[in-house]
Structures are given as C-alpha cells and as structure tokens.
Amino acid sequence: MPAGVSWGQYLKFISCALCTMLAGAQIVHMYYKPLEDLDKYIEKEMKDAQVRKSFNKDKIVS
C-alpha cells in the first residue's frame, strides 16, 4: 500500500471518504434541489431546438 499504510487503514479511509461523498451529494440535493425544475428546462431546450431547426430549414430553402 502507498506510504506504508496497512490494508485496514486504507479500506477504512476509502469507506469514510465514500460515505462522506455520498452524504454531501445528498445534502446538496436536499438543500438546493437541482432536479426540481428539470422538466421545465428540458421543455425549453426542446422548443429552442425546434426553433433553431426551423430557422435553419428556412435559411437553406431561401
């Protein structure tokens, strides 16, 4: 193992780091709610894509 660390210490550190990472991600999702408006964002992007597509289509025909 790196720097003379035993397997037990290494696995303990990795498991603590993983649990901390998962807990932090969960807290972010509970506090900031980044996925709450995902449906609205997808609808807006789909409409924008259709507008761009029709604009490019009209531009090519002209």
Calculate the alpha carbon distances from 43 to 23, 29, 35, 47, 54 in Å.
31, 21, 14, 6, 17
Residue 54 is predicted with a pLDDT of 83
In the block, residue with structure tokens 């807290």: 27
Query: Who contacts 34 (Cβ-Cβ below 8 Å, separation ≥6)?
Result: 28
Please check whether residue 35 is in contact with residue 28, taking contact to mean a CB–CB distance below 8 angstroms.
Answer: no
- Is-above-0.75 flag for pTM? no
Q: How far is CA 20 from CA 29, 30, 34, in A?
A: 14, 15, 20
Compute mean pLDDT per 10 residues along the chain, 62 residues long, and list them: 86 96 95 91 94 77 56
